[in-house]
Structure 1
Amino acid sequence: MAMPVRRTLLALHRATCSRLKNAEASLDVWHPVPLFLPVRTKKRYFIPPAVGVKGKRDVNMESKAKAAGIVFRQEYFERPINIACTAGIFDPYVPPEGDARLSTLSKEGLKQRTEQLRQSAASQLAIRKIKEYDSQFVTKEFAEKAQEIFIEAHNYLTQFNREKLHSLVTERCYPEMTRGNRYKTISWRFIESLEPPKVVHARCPDMVSKGNLYGQVTVRMHSKQTLAVFDRFGRLMLGSEEQPKDVLEYLVIERHLVNPYGRWRLHGKIVPSWAPAKDPIIKTVMIPGPKLEPGQEFEALNYSVPRPKPVQWNK
């Protein structure tokens, strides 16, 4: 009985195989032979991190690369150099003591006059070099132009216009003018010029490389101005809006001479050692008080300001 069953199964198997071969031949099915055989490559010890795992864990990639035999390129943290302006004032002008107070007819005034004539020799050489790069440079006209730059820069400072202020002030002078003015209101006004501005000093230094010239011109300006600084609560901290003051200033205007698109900008001020001390700033703070009802005044209340309790930090 087992033999007839086995024969029938073999016959069925052969019939199905023949049918499959005939179907593949009719459909023109072709099984390509694989061209590449899988071969085991060199084992990698350094595996790059997966996407999205970069900020999840702190892995020392340099040590992993060294273990894998990969040499990392050394990184140099260099400080950027700004070549649009210099970092300071070269050979600053020394204002004579008692300027705008002593007359040239007095004994001390004549001494100061002779010292200015001695210092003017180096300034004349610098002015000649500046005229080689700036053909329109004239000392008399430049003094008036420097005064206009000074007035425009301070007007934009009161308006907090950063774009316009950057075009009139160098990168060295900008942080000095804007430092500490975030929560303050500045009211500045130029009234009149007591004496015509004049060029008193000029230097033409080079920086980084020979031939990279910068022009620095010191302008003496004696004018009448008003200045008032208010804090964030609207209280007066310095100066007055109504009372003008006579101000004697020595402005340093700078330009990158090699750059054909360079402009004359305010670079700084020279404060003489004999200048009087500035007025102290009145700092105000907000003291917490009681909540007032409508129609109630604070003066009517007998309110005492709470003082903090003394605390002993260390014995």
Structure 2
Amino acid sequence: MAMSMRRALLPLYRMRFSNLKNAESSLEVRYPLPFVVPVRTKKRYFIPPAVGIKGKAAASADQEAKARAAGVVLRQEYMERAINIACTAGVFDPYIPPEGDARLSSLSKEGLRQRTEQIKQGAASQLAIRKIKEHDAEFTTKAFPVKAQEIFVDAHNALTQFNKEKLHSLVTERCYPEMVRGNRYKTLRWHFVESLEPPKVVHARCPDMVSKGNIYGQVTVRMHSRQTLAVYDRFGRLMMGSEEEPRDVLEYLVLERHLVNPYSMWRLHGKIVPAWAPVKEPIVKTVMIPGPELKPGEEFEGLNYEVPKPKAVQWHK
């Protein structure tokens, strides 16, 4: 019975398979072929150092020819360097502070000579101030030094509190890494006590960058004040300065603004340190002093071991 049923259904199955094959051939169904995408590998070609520049050029040309033959398109490599047009990369024509500033009297012979040199150098500053006033109508040489001192105080308060958002709004992108460098795992205590002399504008320039007409205003403000600074390491030990002993500080601050941008603000851009400035006091760093090796059962107090005191070393950031 089963064989008879199989013999009856086999012709039907063959007929159905042939119909499907004919329909497939009539529709011309084509199966997609595998698509091969060439992938750039990280294979490096070693060039011996004795080959020279010509050998390197020939090796790179051979590498490009092999890549083109294989159907791989090599992307051209450009030596690009990111720039920031919100501020300049440095101080343009920096102000040279006269030697003995804040110590010599204006009535002395040396003081009169310095005064005459400042008057001669002030001609270029007057032209820059006029150009600044064309873009910033509120700029005046009398009110700006007070504003610059407020920016200086707010920026240092934000630095001691590690307020990055506020610090970015008060200093430029060039000044920010210089202020925060080396302050990790440290505690800063800074306080502005008083101003010994009223701040004043001593220098002004208007440089261009990238294209003509892209003007930046740089104003140097002389500030003579009394401040306190104390730096503690991560263990809470005093590294330099004192919170109770104020010191007289003479600084030349450079503030900058992108004058073409109507939404820009005056920000702290840098500080001019004269060559005749006194050397900073050495920073005392916490180091581990190796002691004697103790045997089992011995105590350090019973050995009467004198710990040597480390010598002060001048550290530069």
TM-score range, shorter chain: 0.7 to 0.9
State the 1:286 CA deviation: 3.4
- 1:280 aligned partner, one-letter code: P
State the 1:32 CA deviation: 3.6
- 2:259 aligned partner, one-letter code: L
1:36 aligns with 2:36: no
CA distance in 2, matches of 1:21, 1:284: 93
State the 1:245 CA deviation: 0.5
Give the TM-score of the pair, scaled to structure 2: 0.77
- Taking a change above 3 Å as real, the CA distance of residues 112 and 72 of structure 1, as seen in their structure-2 partners, is same
**Which of 282, 285, 290 is equivalent to 1:283?**
285
User: Aligned with 1:186: secondary structure?
Assistant: strand
**Which of 162, 167, 170 is equivalent to 2:169?**
167
- Taking a change above 3 Å as real, the CA distance of residues 260 and 107 of structure 1, as seen in their structure-2 partners, is same
1:61-96 alpha-carbon deviations (Å, 9 max, x no partner): x87853333433313130111111111111111111
**Contact 2:169-2:267 within 8 A present in 1 as well:** yes
Q: After alignment, is 196-205 or 231-240 more displaced?
A: 231-240
5 Å matches for 1:120-269?
120-269=122-271
State the 1:17 CA deviation: 7.2
User: Aligned with 1:152: secondary structure?
Assistant: helix
CA distance in 2, matches of 1:247, 1:132: 33
Greater gyration radius: 1
CA distance in 2, matches of 1:265, 1:180: 22
- 1:105 aligned partner, one-letter code: L
- Taking a change above 3 Å as real, the CA distance of residues 66 and 117 of structure 1, as seen in their structure-2 partners, is same
State the 1:117 CA deviation: 0.7
1:177-229 alpha-carbon deviations (Å, 9 max, x no partner): 11111021111100000111111110000011111111000000000001111
CA distance in 1, matches of 2:13, 2:242: 106
State the 1:20 CA deviation: 7.6
- Taking a change above 3 Å as real, the CA distance of residues 81 and 282 of structure 1, as seen in their structure-2 partners, is same
Structure 1: unaligned runs, 5 residues or longer: 1-8, 291-296, 307-315
CA distance in 2, matches of 1:99, 1:106: 12
CA distance in 2, matches of 1:72, 1:249: 54
State the 1:163 CA deviation: 1.3
Matching residue of 2:48: none
Matching residue of 1:102: 104
CA distance in 1, matches of 2:97, 2:133: 25
Matching residue of 1:81: 83
CA distance in 1, matches of 2:226, 2:205: 28
Structure 2: unaligned runs, 5 residues or longer: 45-62, 293-298, 309-317
1:213-270 alpha-carbon deviations (Å, 9 max, x no partner): 1100000000000111111111111111111001010000001111111111111111
CA distance in 1, matches of 2:239, 2:9: 105
User: Aligned with 1:212: secondary structure?
Assistant: strand
Q: How many residues align?
A: 281
CA distance in 2, matches of 1:203, 1:185: 36
- Taking a change above 3 Å as real, the CA distance of residues 243 and 30 of structure 1, as seen in their structure-2 partners, is same
CA distance in 2, matches of 1:248, 1:82: 30
- 1:120 aligned partner, one-letter code: G
Give the TM-score of the pair, scaled to structure 1: 0.78
- Taking a change above 3 Å as real, the CA distance of residues 12 and 118 of structure 1, as seen in their structure-2 partners, is closer
CA distance in 2, matches of 1:263, 1:193: 24
State the 1:172 CA deviation: 1.2
5 Å matches for 1:18-97?
32-34=23-25, 35-38=27-30, 47-48=37-38, 58=42, 66-97=68-99
- Taking a change above 3 Å as real, the CA distance of residues 121 and 40 of structure 1, as seen in their structure-2 partners, is closer
- 2:28 aligned partner, one-letter code: F
- Taking a change above 3 Å as real, the CA distance of residues 17 and 243 of structure 1, as seen in their structure-2 partners, is closer
User: Aligned with 1:109: secondary structure?
Assistant: helix
- Taking a change above 3 Å as real, the CA distance of residues 180 and 16 of structure 1, as seen in their structure-2 partners, is closer
Identity fraction in percent:
71
